[in-house]
Amino acid sequence: MKICYYPGCTLKNQAKRLDDCARLSAEALGVTMEEIPEWQCCGGVYPMAKDEIATKLSSVRALDYAKHHGGTLLTLCSACHNVIKRVNNDMATEKSIRDKVNNYMRLDERYEGETKVIHYLEMLKDIVGFDNIKKAVKNPVNKKIGAYYGCLLLRPSNVMAFDNPENPTILEDFISAIGGTPVKYPFRNECCGAYVSLTNKSLTEQKSKKILESAAAVGAELVLTACPLCYYNLKKNGGDNVVYFTELLAKALGVTE
Amino acid sequence: MQRIGVFICHCGTNIAATVNVEKVTEALRKEPCVVFADNYQYMCSENGQQLIKNKIKEYNLTGIVVCACSPRMHEGTFRKTAEAAGLNPYMVEIANIREQCSWIHKDIDEATEKAVILGRTAIAKLTLNTPLTAGETGVTKRALVIGGGIAGIQCALDIADAGYEVDIVEKRPTIGGRMSQLDKTFPTLDCSACILTPKMVDCAQSEKIKLFTYSEVEEVKGFVGNFKVKIKKKARYVDETKCTGCGVCMANCPSKKGLNAFNMNLNTRPAIYIPFAQAIPNVAVIDPEQCIKLKTGKCGLCQMKCGVGAIDYTQKDEYVDREYGAIVVATGFKPIDLTNFNEYGYADNKDVITSLELERLMNAAGPTKGVLLRPSDNEHPKVITFIQCVGSRDVSGCGKPYCSKICCMYTAKHAMLIREKYPDTEVHVFYIDVRTPGKNYDEFYRRAVEQYGVDYIKGMVGKVYNENGKLMVQGSNLLDNTQVVIPSDLVVLATAIEPDPSVRDIASKLTISIDTNNFLTEAHAKLKPVECATAGVFLAGVCQGPKDVPETVSQASAAASKVIGLLAKDKLKGNPCVAHSDEMMCTGCSQCARVCPYGAITYEDKTFGRGANATVRRVAVVNPAVCQGCGACTVTCPSGAMDLHGFSSSQILKEIDFICKK
Amino acid sequence: MENFDIEYIKEISRTDVRKCMKCGKCSGRCPAFNDMDIKPHQFVTLLGQGKFDVLLKSKAIFSCLSCMACVERCPRGVAPANVIEAVRDTVERMQNGNAIKAEDIPPIVDDLIPQQLLVSAYRKYRK
Please name each of the domains of chain C with its CATH number. 6-94 (1.10.1060.10), 99-127 (no CATH)
Q: Is B646 exposed, middle or buried (0-12, 13-18, 19+ CB in 10 A)?
A: middle
Residue B522 above 60 pLDDT? yes
Instruction: Answer yes or no: do C29 and B389 touch at CB < 8 A.
Output: no
Strands (E), B69-131: 92-96
Q: How far apart are CA B179 and CA B195, in angstroms?
A: 10
Q: How far apart are CA B207 and CA C96, in angstroms?
A: 87
Determine the pLDDT at residue B355.
98
Instruction: Answer yes or no: do C66 and A194 touch at CB < 8 A.
Output: yes
What CATH number is attached to the domain comprising A135?
Answer: 3.40.50.1860
Contact B597, B630 (CB under 8 A): yes
> Which domain-ending residue is among A102, A120, A138?
A120
Q: How far apart are CA B42 and CA B48, in angstroms?
A: 6
Determine the pLDDT at residue C107.
85
Same domain, A81 and A142: no
Same domain, A108 and A147: no
Residue C1 above 70 pLDDT? no
Determine the pLDDT at residue A230.
97
Nearest CB to C28; choose among B393, B460, B481: B460
| Domain B579-645 fold | Alpha-Beta Plaits (3.30.70)
Instruction: Answer yes or no: do A184 and B468 touch at CB < 8 A.
Output: no
Residue B342 above 70 pLDDT? yes
Same domain, A240 and A181: yes
Residue B1 above 90 pLDDT? no
Nearest chain B residue to C21 by CA distance is: B432
Contact C89, C56 (CB under 8 A): no
Contact B620, B581 (CB under 8 A): yes
Average pLDDT value for residue range B417-444: 97
Mean pLDDT score across all residues of chain B: 96
Same domain, A50 and A163: no
Q: In Å, how far is B426's CA from the nearest CA of chain C?
A: 21
Q: Locate CATH 3.50.50.60 in chain B.
A: 142-234+317-332+500-567, 335-498
Instruction: Answer yes or no: do A186 and B467 touch at CB < 8 A.
Output: yes
Backbone φ, ψ for residue B492 (5° rounding): -115, 125
Number of domains forming the structure of chain A = 2
Closest CA to B360 of B267, B471, B452: B267
Q: In Å, how far is C103's CA from the nearest CA of chain A?
A: 13
Task: Mark C66-86 as b/e (b = at least 16 C-beta within 10 Å).
Answer: bbbbbbbbbbbebbbbbbbbb
Q: How far apart are CA B593 and CA B537, in angstroms?
A: 23
Average pLDDT value for residue range B70-96: 95
Same domain, A57 and A138: no
Q: How far apart are CA B597 and CA B630, in angstroms?
A: 9
Contact B21, B108 (CB under 8 A): no
Average pLDDT value for residue range B480-492: 98
Residue C69 above 70 pLDDT? yes
Domain that holds residue A235: 130-253
CA–CA–CA angle B311, B315, B317 (5° rounding): 135
Q: Is C4 exposed, middle or buried (0-12, 13-18, 19+ CB in 10 A)?
A: middle
Contact B341, B510 (CB under 8 A): no
Task: Express each pLDDT in B133-163 by its tens digit.
Answer: 988 889 999 999 999 999 999 999 999 999 9
Strand partners, C121: none
Q: How far lies B66's CA from each of B91, B121, B128, B415, B491, in Å?
A: 11, 12, 16, 58, 61
Q: State whether residue B281 is helix, strand or coil.
A: coil
Q: How far apart are CA A228 and CA A78, in angstroms?
A: 8
Residues on chain A touching C115 (C-beta within 8 angstroms): 9-10, 13-14, 41
Determine the pLDDT at residue B625.
78
Q: Is B598 exposed, middle or buried (0-12, 13-18, 19+ CB in 10 A)?
A: middle
Same domain, A144 and A176: yes
Sign of CA dihedral B580, B583, B585, B587: positive
Q: SS3 sequence, B393-430? A: CCCCCCCCCCCCCCHHHHHHHHHHHHHHHCCCCEEEEE
Residues on chain B touching A186 (C-beta within 8 angstroms): 345, 348, 463, 465-467
Backbone φ, ψ for residue C80 (5° rounding): -55, -40
| Domain B335-498 fold | FAD/NAD(P)-binding domain (3.50.50)
Q: How far apart are CA B632 and CA C127, in angstroms?
A: 63
Same domain, A7 and A108: yes
Instruction: Answer yes or no: do A43 and C35 touch at CB < 8 A.
Output: no
> Which domain-ending residue is among A81, A99, A120?
A120
Q: How far apart are CA A16 and CA B496, in angstroms?
A: 48
User: Could you write out the DSSP letters of every residue in B121-177?
Assistant: HHHHHHTT-------EEE--SEEEEE--SHHHHHHHHHHHHTT-EEEEE-SSSSS-T
Q: How far apart are CA B205 and CA B212, in angstroms?
A: 14
ipTM rounded to 2 decimals = 0.95
Q: How far lies B360's CA from each of B181, B363, B374, in Å?
A: 7, 5, 12
Percent of chain B with pLDDT over 70: 100
CA–CA–CA angle B127, B130, B132 (5° rounding): 145
Residues on chain A touching B339 (C-beta within 8 angstroms): 164, 167
Nearest CB to A164; choose among B342, B397, B465: B342
Longest dimension (CA), chain B: 100
Q: How far lies B62's CA from each of B79, B120, B604, in Å?
A: 13, 16, 37
> What number does CATH give the domain B142-234+317-332+500-567?
3.50.50.60
Contact B134, B573 (CB under 8 A): yes
Residues on chain B touching C28 (C-beta within 8 angstroms): 459-463, 474-476, 483
pLDDT-derived band at B545 (thresholds 50, 70, 90) equals: very high
Q: State whether residue B442 is helix, strand or coil.
A: helix
* Residue A86 lies inside a defined structural domain of this protein: yes
Task: Express each pLDDT in A87-143 by its tens digit.
Answer: 999 999 999 999 999 999 999 999 999 999 999 999 999 999 999 999 999 999 999
Average pLDDT value for residue range A188-200: 94
pLDDT-derived band at A213 (thresholds 50, 70, 90) equals: very high
pLDDT-derived band at B628 (thresholds 50, 70, 90) equals: confident
Residue C127 above 90 pLDDT? no
Contact B52, B5 (CB under 8 A): yes
* Residue A125 lies inside a defined structural domain of this protein: no
Q: How many residues does chain C have?
A: 127
B183-186: long-range contacts at Cβ-Cβ below 8 A with a sequence spacing of 24 or more? Answer: B183/B359, B183/B360, B183/B362, B183/B363, B183/B366, B183/B370, B183/B417, B184/B362, B184/B413, B184/B417, B185/B549, B186/B409, B186/B410, B186/B412, B186/B413, B186/B441, B186/B444, B186/B548
Instruction: Answer yes or no: do C117 and A15 touch at CB < 8 A.
Output: no
* Residue A188 lies inside a defined structural domain of this protein: yes
Residues on chain C touching A187 (C-beta within 8 angstroms): none
Contact B620, B603 (CB under 8 A): yes
Q: In Å, how far is C53's CA from the nearest CA of chain B?
A: 20
Residues on chain C touching A236 (C-beta within 8 angstroms): 112
> Which domain-ending residue is among A88, A120, A152?
A120
| Domain B4-126 fold | Rossmann fold (3.40.50)
Residue A86 above 60 pLDDT? yes
Residue B70 above 90 pLDDT? yes
Q: How far apart are CA B281 and CA B527, in angstroms?
A: 37
Q: How far apart are CA B407 and CA B434, in angstroms?
A: 9
Average pLDDT value for residue range C19-44: 97
Type of residue numbered B218: E
Residue A231 above 60 pLDDT? yes
Sign of CA dihedral B186, B493, B452, B419: positive
Q: Which of the 8 DSSP states describes residue C102? A: G
pLDDT-derived band at B190 (thresholds 50, 70, 90) equals: very high
Closest CA to A145 of A190, A195, A180, A106: A180
Backbone φ, ψ for residue B560 (5° rounding): -60, -40
Q: How far apart are CA A24 and CA A136, in angstroms?
A: 13
Same domain, A139 and A249: yes
Q: In Å, how far is C121's CA from the nearest CA of chain A?
A: 5
